Structure 1
């Protein structure tokens, strides 16, 4: 099995320039990211929970629901997809099944974390982490389960907020030794901590950071992140954080006025949506088959 998008992503991560990756959660969001010219998209487990189920990020999404979503995204877009697989949905054997299912569905990279299941958002209190050896075993199991060597594995640790900075560094070192392609030390508390992370790992692995609105992070600018040695900036909830207040405002207007006429200049029309979604191309394809 080949993974051409994974190969593209692997080659891109060999370049020093920061890779900006917005979070997506459905076919429309992934299409908008691709049309905007981004080089990759991130299927955020949090945003999948937010958008599809109207629930917070507390480990409520299942592996089959993630796999179904990946297949939908891959059917619509060609850009590399980084997939948040939370804790892998179980032990090392469950992780292997998750890897096989998501790789077949079209994942380019899989992000695995060391939280205790059920997990919760990395910027929430009350999370816990599994022993280092257990996570190392999960990483090795995930790598063994891949059908393509071009499918990347990103290892995330949430230990900083649980056991402290030194434990997080030690875990990251072990995860890199186990074969992880990129490292994500979640929720550093100071710029000095991020600088130390960059100094220790930046030349040996692609470092990942969440630029999440309202999160516990000392850095919010892509340029500063790049200067600290990071190579992947995730914007996991930017689209939903931007969309939700607009939706609330529009719904309040409809409830009060009973129409959308005063907001039409701010809205797309049906023809606009059909153009963005490629209705014309679909009709042409159908005509080519005599439909």
Structure 2
């Protein structure tokens, strides 16, 4: 819960109350739990007086710990807050309404408030009258209501009705889960019947990307773009955001970006930094002069549309594998030796695992 809670609190900018159940043990365990929730970034924690293993408060057979242990759990939570220098809100929940009686739950609520609880919560109250009775216990201490949709023991009231009674907090725990389940059932039924879910039942892909933060990621990519020429594409050849193969050059001086789309038949890519690194000075060696040889790389999608058509120095072929993984492991020196000079020769012609045709020509 602590790990999941940290991910949730980091993903939103509003206060989050975490359910600490029964603290996962005795008062010492409660203390450890609260400190963990504080580190996770929770603004509040709910702690209850059920025994272990605990269960939903609206089911039968509820059992609670003694009054003394229930109070000690809250005192331990308060101590954990003080020791951590935190202001986490402690929500004290009692399940004694179903386990014992209304009177017992009201007595425990007073005692838990005296122990330092910030919010009081009796689960599974069965009428408006019982709910009003809770709100009359220390009226200045906020009360929390649990509206278990679809058949719980507590009457389902609107937020305005709850406020009139005296509640300050309310949870509708099944609303998001319930509508999600029904939406998935409807979508699966449609697909099983050979139909697609109606357009109005789901957001567009652009909306999904915006909700998930794609646009923010794209801005981050632009902000931290490197000064090395990059090919951007989709279909597994690159993780960049462009929908087509293109090249990008950013000069050291002004960082201007120049993009060439696939609509142009040929794009030349030159990288001076890499060029100098690999014997571009015509020094002797097995790869001498390789950068003076040009290759043409062409990729045709399985749908027949051209995805890429570029000219590159032969020495750059191995470096292009981060864009076209299927070219990984190619021995460019052996290919050139076998070609024995002459332009227009086909060095490679094959299909990758995605069905795209990849061709490499000697220019």
TM-score where L is the length of structure 2: 0.59
Instruction: Provide the rounded CA distance (Å) in 1 between the counterparts of 2:86 and 2:125.
Output: 30
Counterpart among 16, 19, 30 of residue 95 in structure 1: 30
Check the 8 A contact 2:45/2:90 in 1, yes or no: yes
Name which one, 1 or 2, has greater alpha-carbon Rg. 2
Matching residue of 1:73: 8
Check the 8 A contact 2:148/2:156 in 1, yes or no: no
- Are residues 1:104 and 2:30 paired? no
What SS does structure 1 have at the residue aligned with 2:143? strand
- Are residues 1:270 and 2:205 paired? yes
Task: State which drifts further: 92-101 or 158-167.
Answer: 92-101
Matching residue of 2:239: none
Instruction: Provide the rounded CA distance (Å) in 2 between the counterparts of 1:189 and 1:132.
Output: 22
Q: For residues 176-227 of structure 1, what are the alpha-carbon distances to aligned partners after superposition, in whole Å with 9 as ceiling and x for unaligned?
A: 00000000011111111111211223x2311000122121112422222111
Matching residue of 2:184: 247
Aligned length: 223
Instruction: Provide the rounded CA distance (Å) in 2 between the counterparts of 1:140 and 1:199.
Output: 23
Matching residue of 2:127: 190
Matching residue of 1:158: 95
Counterpart among 112, 126, 137 of residue 175 in structure 1: 112
Structure 1 position 254, deviation (Å)? 1.2
Q: 1:266 to 1:132 in 2, by over 3 A?
A: same
Counterpart among 158, 162, 185 of residue 221 in structure 1: 158
Instruction: Provide the rounded CA distance (Å) in 1 between the counterparts of 2:54 and 2:88.
Output: 24
Structure 1 position 265, deviation (Å)? 2.9
Counterpart among 74, 79, 83 of residue 144 in structure 1: 79
Q: 1:285 to 1:263 in 2, by over 3 A?
A: same
Structure with the higher fraction of residues in strand conformation? 2
Gaps of 5+ in 2: 227-363
Structure with the higher fraction of residues in helix conformation? 1
- 4+ long deviations beyond 2 Å: none
Structure 1 position 266, deviation (Å)? 1.7
Instruction: Provide the rounded CA distance (Å) in 2 between the counterparts of 1:265 and 1:234.
Output: 28
Matching residue of 1:204: 140
Instruction: Provide the rounded CA distance (Å) in 1 between the counterparts of 2:2 and 2:86.
Output: 20
Check the 8 A contact 1:191/1:219 in 2, yes or no: no
Instruction: Provide the rounded CA distance (Å) in 1 between the counterparts of 2:152 and 2:42.
Output: 26
Check the 8 A contact 2:38/2:86 in 1, yes or no: no
Matching residue of 1:282: 217
Instruction: Provide the rounded CA distance (Å) in 1 between the counterparts of 2:221 and 2:33.
Output: 35
Instruction: Provide the rounded CA distance (Å) in 1 between the counterparts of 2:160 and 2:16.
Output: 23
Q: For residues 216-273 of structure 1, what are the alpha-carbon distances to aligned partners after superposition, in whole Å with 9 as ceiling and x for unaligned?
A: 112422222111111101111210111111111111221221x52x522322232210
Higher relative contact order (CA 8 A, sep 6+): 1
TM-score where L is the length of structure 1: 0.74
Check the 8 A contact 2:75/2:115 in 1, yes or no: yes
